[in-house]
Amino acid sequence: MEATEDEIVEQLYNLIVNPNTREWERYLLTATKNSLTDQVNFKEQLAKLEAELRPLALRNNLTPDVADFYQMITGKKAVEHVVKEKHFISDSVYQERAIFAGGCFWCMVEPFENQPGIVSVLSGYTGGTTEDPSYDQVSSGHTGHVEAVEIIFDTRVVSYRDLLALYWQITDPTDALGQFQDRGMQYRPIIFPTTNEQKVLAEKTKQAVINSGRYKRPIVTEIRPAEKFWPAENYHQAFYKKQPKRYRAIKRERRQFLAYQHLMGNIRQKMAQIKRNPS
């Protein structure tokens, strides 16, 4: 069922006053609202607005409520911005939660989600002070949150130690100001243990990384007790499936950096071994 003109105008007003609407979106919505107030052709103005929003809509980069409005005016079903239905612990004996921050959460989902024993991976925000933060708020770097992933895993199939081993492989533990091309405190690497056992294992693996001699710079990855995890908007979930071409480009840059870093680490270890055993 198509939305009526009155419903569309009402949504325009709501979005203009919505604090989560970006300024660029608000500018376009206000211009459309003013034109409709001046009784300019309704369909023409709506088509113009749709064309102006389309580039970001196609890249899933509209804020959630504006994305829903776009779906409304194009006659498509709006996507509900809810968390994954299956993202909960259904077996308290054999399932645990793990929370890792390691740069943009778009690139932290696939490496874990494709491992055996993973029940669910959710993108979100944690570690800050703002209640129920939005993507734009976290991206500003002023909320104290980091982008992170919350993982529910089956301990009969995969261990927390296995997840830690993967985490150290896909992040740069020497960069406290971001990760790879993602710059800012909201991208810094942090491990958030959810149990004391996880905390002990995280600290042991961090010390092992320090002792390995693979890195020239200090290991700066933090280990902090798990805090409230706020799920990100739905359009951020499973980004690698929704935007495969864009994801592959981002992933390629990360892999190239990590490949070079791991190569240098291998050389560093080999040189240290030669110094210890010159013969």
Domains of the chain: 5-73 (no CATH), 95-242 (3.30.1060.10)
Which pLDDT belongs to residue 82? 47
What are the tens digits of pLDDT across the range 15-68?
999 887 888 899 999 999 888 877 668 888 888 999 999 888 776 678 777 888
Which pLDDT does position 150 carry in this prediction? Answer: 97
Question: Active-site positions?
Answer: 104
CA distance linking residue 68 with residue 7, whole number of Å: 13
Q: 81 with 75: CB under 8 angstroms?
A: no
Instruction: Check residue 188 and give its pLDDT.
Output: 96
Positions in the chain short of pLDDT 50 = 1, 78-82
- Alpha carbon distance 249, 231 (integer Å): 25
Determine contact, residues 228/184, Cβ cutoff 8 Å: no
Measured torsion, CA atoms of residues 47, 51, 56, 58, in degrees rounded to the nearest 10: 90
